[in-house]
Amino acid sequence: MNDSWGKRLTPSIIRSIIKKHAQRREWYQEGGDATQNVTPHYFRHFFTTHLRNATGERGIVKYLRGDVADDIIDTYTHNWGNNVRETYERSIYRLL
């Protein structure tokens, strides 16, 4: 154990823990950008995308993230385009 055992986690400590484990798995390169590294921010995108895809509940995901603005969640949701074809094919004939 170290001197910080039992103390409140700070953003700096979280970044350090994630960086250490990401480097072990070669998911983090010093000097790399956000598209190359696993960071705390990466997990925000991951959480948003996967929870929204799994539940389809935009409002609940927005609430869990603590978002105030209505449109910020869309910035963090990725690969929705992968669902466009499936949604289109499932819904288009209902319009007729």
For the chain, which residues make up each domain, given as ranges?
Answer: 40-96
Single-letter amino acid code for the residue at 10: T
Q: Are 44 and 65 in contact (CB under 8 A)?
A: yes
Long-range residue pairs from 52-58, CB within 8 A, at least 24 positions apart, any chain:
52/77, 53/79, 53/80, 53/83
Question: What token pair was written down for 46?
Answer: 């991951």
Distance CA(89)–CA(34), nearest Å, equals 34
Q: Model pTM?
A: 0.59
Q: Are 78 and 51 in contact (CB under 8 A)?
A: no
Taking only the tens of pLDDT, the chain with its 96 residues reads 456 678 889 999 999 999 999 999 999 988 888 778 899 988 888 888 888 888 888 888 888 888 888 888 877 777 666 666 676 677 667 765
